[in-house]
Structure formats: structure tokens, C-alpha cells
């Protein structure tokens, strides 16, 4: 190869490089950087997630030939526009709040309990068992005993998830999810079988509870005293996590399990106790449903409160006071879903909104882990170019 061909090759490559530089995209001064250590998103992430979900669902409503503003206004009117609608919203918010508090307790130490649905169901079963097998109990004792039975059953159901996780390393996502179906099948067996009311015209449910076995209601509505259980649970949750040593240990465990272990915190004991509390709160929600709403154990006692409570907890960023708001909001979505049937939309509209909120919330939390950083300025030339 002679010198002329080498020179031509060098000049050709230089021309190609200069052409690429001219047509290349301009270099941005900023870049996205992932922060794996960042815990949770900013305060505005839940609000932005709800707004994004509403916009996304509005697109589908518009494609269906309806005005999204009319649909959302109808939902808001049905859930909050009357005393009846408001009381029904609070009725839905009670189990959502109790189950949301339950899963939030576990999520605070990164124990992913998605078994609140099953824990709610076994709590309802245990409360009903008190009415069936203790017929001679004094009337004033029924509600306290039903509360204790419901919470104990939920706590035991939570332990069935915690023990394999603690001692055998079994993923709690799998066990808690599978136990939901076990609880639902047990419910089906009881209401279609030995506990079915013989005078109920083959309806899959037990006998109606007596007045002593029913939670009292606020005058003129279906809103029952289970609301007081939920409010007390919120106060206790906030007090324990913010004012007690055990709450401090929970925070340390949730932030860094290795530091917690080095500091002498018994991680396994905390996991067992937390899952008992989580299941107990969901079991209390089940007791409130059978005693305060349906007044009997029946097929489909829960329309998915245990799963929806996960959205309630994450929207509030696991804050108990925030869950007071998010439980009412999601309860309003459920009640509003029934209202839109009058304008030709199915009640599953609320489920679509809940799913969109969850997807947008997860996406928002992931995006919030990225931050915008300024790139280092590019040097004017490389060492080879200066030479």
C-alpha cells in the first residue's frame, strides 16, 4: 500500500467523521440517573398517578362514545352528592381502611402480604361461628367475642404465611396469595353446605344474625359502628409507629434489615408479630362486614376488598392518616361505579379506574427513582487530536 492511498483513506475517514458530527443529534446537557437507594417517591406521585389514570380512562370513555366529564360527574354525584351516597361510601371505606392498615403494617418492613382477602374471609367465618356454636352467650358479649374471634382467625391465617417465610424462606407473595383461594373455597363449602340456612330458599348463606349479634348503625343509614374500629386502628397505628420503641425498631428493620440484625433486633419475631397484626386487622374487617352490613355469612361476602386495600395503602404511601382519605376516595369509586349504570356504563367502570390507578402509581414510583443530573462538559479534543 503506497503513501497516496493511505493519505486518501485518512482524508476520507476525516470527511466521514465531520459529516457524522454535522448530522448527529445535539448533545443534551442533562441525563437521567437511576437511584437504587431512594425509598419511595415524592409526595406528588400519588396525586399525579390518580390524574394520569383519570386521563387514561377518559380516553377509553370517549372512544366508547360518551363524555368523560359527564361520567366522572355522575360517579362523584352518586358517591358524595347525597347523604345516602356518602354513607354508602363510608360503608365501603371501612373494610378498605382496616385491610389497608393491615397490609401497610407488613409493607413497612418489606413483608409483602397480599393475603388480606383471605384473612378478611376467615375473620368473617370465625365471627359467624360464634353465632352458630355459642347460642347461649349473653347478648352483651356477642360483639366482643365476635371481634376477638375474627381478629384471632385473621392473625392465625397471617401466621400461615409468616412461618414458612421466617423458617423456610418461602416467598410470602406465593403463600399469601394461595391462602386467599383456600379461604374462599372454605367459605363456599360452609355457605353451600353445613351452614346454609334451611329456610333460605337455597340461598348460599347462613341464618340472619340476631339483633345482639349485629353492629349498631348510625340512625337512618347503613353506616355501622365498624367505623369506630377503623378510626381506633388508625390512631393506634400512628401512635405505635411514631411513639414507641417497637415502632422505631420497625422503621429500622424496614430501612435496612442488616443494620437491624446488627443492632440486635429479632427480625423473625418481628415478622411473625407483624403478620399476626396484619391478619388480625383484616379479620376485624371481615367481622365488621358480616355483623354490620350483610348480617349473615354469605357467598361473595367480599367483592375484593383485600386486593383493593393494596391500592389504598400505596396511594397513602403507607401513612395511616393518609389512608383515611384514600379509603374514602376508593370507596367513592366503588359506589360511583354503580351510579354510572344509569347512563349505560357497567359498574366495572370503577374496577377499570382502580386498575389504571395502580398501574400509574407503580409507574410513577419507578420514575421517581430517577433524577435529572447535569452532564460533565465535553473536552475540546482528545489527546490524539492535540498531537
Q: What pLDDT score was predicted for residue 363?
A: 86
Predicted confidence (pLDDT) at residue 274 exceeds the cutoff of 60: yes
**Cβ(184)–Cβ(118) under 8 Å?**
yes
**Cβ(125)–Cβ(190) under 8 Å?**
yes
Please count the CA atoms within 13 angstroms of the CA of 300 that sit on its side-chain side: 3
Q: What pLDDT score was predicted for residue 386?
A: 46
* Res. 42 pLDDT band, cuts 50 70 90: confident
Q: What pLDDT score was predicted for residue 365?
A: 81
CA distances in angstroms from 50 to 3, 38, 208, 333, 356, listed in the order given: 69, 22, 39, 12, 8
pLDDT tens column, 122-140: 999 999 999 999 998 999 9
Paired strand residues for 374: 30
pLDDT tens column, 237-258: 999 999 999 999 999 998 888 9
Please count the CA atoms within 13 angstroms of the CA of 71 that sit on its side-chain side: 23
Taking each helix axis as running N to C, give the angle between helix 68-80 and helix 349-367, from 0 to 180 degrees, rounded to the nearest 10: 100
Predicted confidence (pLDDT) at residue 87 exceeds the cutoff of 50: yes
Q: What pLDDT score was predicted for residue 33?
A: 67
- The pTM assigned to this predicted structure is 0.87
CA distances in angstroms from 82 to 79, 86, 208, 225, 377, listed in the order given: 8, 6, 29, 20, 61
Q: Report the range of poorest mean pLDDT among 169-178, 314-323, 329-338, 378-387.
A: 378-387
Structure-model confidence comparison of residues 295 and 35, the more confident one: 295
Please count the CA atoms within 13 angstroms of the CA of 347 that sit on its side-chain side: 9
Q: What pLDDT score was predicted for residue 382?
A: 47
Give the residue extent of every domain in the chain: 94-319
pLDDT, mean of residues 192-204:
92
pLDDT, mean of residues 296-300:
95
Predicted confidence (pLDDT) at residue 346 exceeds the cutoff of 90: no
Average pLDDT score, the chain: 88
pLDDT tens column, 300-336: 999 999 999 999 999 999 999 999 999 999 999 999 9
| Total Cβ atoms within 10 A of residue 338 | 17
CA distances in angstroms from 370 to 34, 40, 64, 254, listed in the order given: 4, 11, 36, 21
pLDDT tens column, 45-59: 889 999 999 999 999
Amino acid at each position: 500500500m503506497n503513501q497516496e492511498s493511505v493519505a486518501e483513506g485518512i482524508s476520507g475517514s476525516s470527511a466521514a467523521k465531520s459529516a457524522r458530527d454535522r448530522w448527529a443529534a445535539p448533545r443534551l446537557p442533562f441525563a437521567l440517573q437511576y437511584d437504587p437507594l431512594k425509598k419511595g417517591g415524592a409526595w406528588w406521585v400519588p396525586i399525579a398517578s390518580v390524574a394520569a389514570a383519570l386521563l387514561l380512562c377518559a380516553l377509553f370513555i370517549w372512544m366508547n362514545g360518551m363524555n368523560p366529564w359527564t361520567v366522572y360527574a355522575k360517579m362523584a354525584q352518586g358517591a358524595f352528592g347525597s347523604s345516602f351516597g356518602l354513607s354508602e361510601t363510608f360503608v365501603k371505606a371501612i373494610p378498605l381502611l382496616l385491610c389497608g392498615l393491615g397490609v401497610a403494617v407488613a409493607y413497612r418492613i418489606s413483608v409483602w402480604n397480599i393475603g388480606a382477602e383471605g384473612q378478611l374471609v376467615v375473620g368473617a367465618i370465625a365471627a359467624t361461628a360464634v353465632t352458630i356454636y355459642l347460642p347461649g352467650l349473653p347478648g352483651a358479649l356477642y360483639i366482643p367475642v365476635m371481634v376477638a374471634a375474627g381478629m384471632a382467625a385473621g392473625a392465625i391465617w397471617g401466621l400461615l404465611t409468616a412461618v414458612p417465610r421466617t423458617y423456610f424462606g418461602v416467598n410470602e407473595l406465593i403463600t399469601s396469595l394461595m391462602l386467599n383461594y383456600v379461604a374462599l373455597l372454605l367459605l363456599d363449602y360452609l355457605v353451600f353446605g353445613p351452614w346454609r340456612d334451611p329456610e333460605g330458599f337455597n340461598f348460599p348463606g347462613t341464618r340472619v344474625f340476631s339483633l345482639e349479634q349485629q353492629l349498631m348503625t348510625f340512625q337512618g343509614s347503613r353506616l355501622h359502628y365498624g367505623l369506630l374500629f377503623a378510626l381506633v386502628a388508625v390512631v393506634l397505628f400512628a401512635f405505635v409507629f411514631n411513639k414507641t420503641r417497637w415502632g422505631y425498631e420497625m422503621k429500622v428493620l424496614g430501612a435496612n434489615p442488616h443494620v437491624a440484625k446488627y443492632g440486635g433486633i429479632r427480625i423473625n419475631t418481628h415478622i411473625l408479630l407483624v403478620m399476626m397484626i396484619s391478619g388480625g386487622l383484616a379479620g376485624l374487617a371481615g367481622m365488621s362486614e358480616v355483623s354490620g352490613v350483610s348480617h349473615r355469612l354469605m357467598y361473595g361476602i367480599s367483592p375484593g376488598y383485600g386486593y383493593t386495600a393494596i391500592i389504598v395503602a400505596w396511594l397513602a404511601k403507607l401513612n395511616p392518616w393518609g389512608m383515611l382519605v384514600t379509603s374514602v376516595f376508593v370507596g367513592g369509586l366503588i359506589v360511583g361505579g354503580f351510579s354510572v349504570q344509569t347512563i349505560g356504563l357497567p359498574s366495572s367502570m370503577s374496577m377499570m379506574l382502580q386498575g389504571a390507578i395502580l398501574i400509574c402509581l407503580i409507574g410513577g414510583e419507578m420514575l421517581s427513582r430517577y433524577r435529572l443530573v447535569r452532564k460533565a462538559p465535553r473536552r475540546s479534543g482528545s489527546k490524539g487530536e492535540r498531537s
